[in-house]
Amino acid sequence: MIGCGNMAGAMLAGWLASGLDPRRFTVLDPALETAPEGVALFHSPEEMPGNHDAVLLGFKPQQLGALAPGFQSLAGEGVAVHYLLAGLTLAQVRAAFPKARAIVRVMPNLAARLGKSPVLLAQSGLAESERDDMQTFYDTLGTAVWLEDEGRFDLLTALAGSGPGFVYRFIDALAVAAERLGAEREQAVALATAMVDGAASLAATSDVSPGALADRVASPGGMTREGLNILDEDEALIELLTETLDATARRGAELSAGNG
């Protein structure tokens, strides 16, 4: 793992929590002071042993051009390069690591730490059996999904990768709204967080759609329906989130163009 910040660190925690042997993982990060017990930590490429069959790039996408030359020895023949660099295409990372055996584009979210993250995957160069192995490996972090059309990756990253940020903002907005109407801040945050947790769990296990669940909560002429009328008027909420996802996905394309 080259770079072990928030996202890569959440993935590592999720893999270890699932029972994977910590000796399977090695971290290269000059800024990291400690690694989880059993995980080897190095601070420069020169220190790294060469007995790995895959690397996971966890640094910022803007750093690819500057950092890739120094990692060629770690991503040569026989090595699959997995990467979390938002917006960058398989072709761009292949160009940065031309000797790598395969390239795998990966996008989870921070719920990987809990084993509850969707994990988007796209690849170039993997055999079918290796795809199956990668499916199993990333399923330990939640639910892995292969995308055959890489052109959809930025959009679905906006939904599944950036989405938690939007949900956290929604929880905070609910709490702020309740506070403005007279609730105590701490109590409003606790109730909003518990409510979203329970609602999401029910949606994940229900045999009906989230839209249908919303209608089941709302009795005709009741309190919930009155609130939904505000969100539903002129598709206000859908329009807002369409604009949000579009802006997020377009930023992914901009990151890709900037690293072309």
Strand partners, 55: 81
Q: Which of 73, 81, 29 is nearest to 55 (CA)?
A: 81
Place of tokens 């029910």: 202
Distance (Å, whole) CA 21 – CA 184: 45
pTM: 0.88
| Residue 243: how many other CB atoms lie within 10 Å | 10
Mind listing the pLDDT tens digit for each residue in 211-237?
999 999 999 999 999 999 999 999 999
Give the per-residue pLDDT at 256.
79
Distance (Å, whole) CA 103 – CA 199: 37
Q: In sequence order, what are the residues at sequence separation of 6 or more whose Cβ sits closer than 8 angstroms to the Cβ of residue 76? A: 99, 100
Give the per-residue pLDDT at 258.
75
Q: Where are the domains of the chain?
A: 6-150, 163-255
- Contact assessment for residue 170 and residue 200, using Cβ atoms and an 8 Å cutoff: no
pLDDT surpassing 70 at residue 260 = no
Task: Give me the CATH topology for the region 6-150.
Answer: Rossmann fold (3.40.50)
pLDDT grade, residue 259 (50/70/90)?
low
- Contact assessment for residue 76 and residue 48, using Cβ atoms and an 8 Å cutoff: no
Superfamily of domain 163-255: ProC C-terminal domain-like (1.10.3730.10)
Computed from CA positions of residues 176, 238, 148, 87, in that sequence, does the dihedral angle turn out positive or negative? negative
- Looking at every residue in the chain, the average pLDDT score rounds to 94
Place of tokens 């270890």: 16
Mind listing the pLDDT tens digit for each residue in 14-34?
999 999 999 999 999 999 999
Distance (Å, whole) CA 144 – CA 121: 7
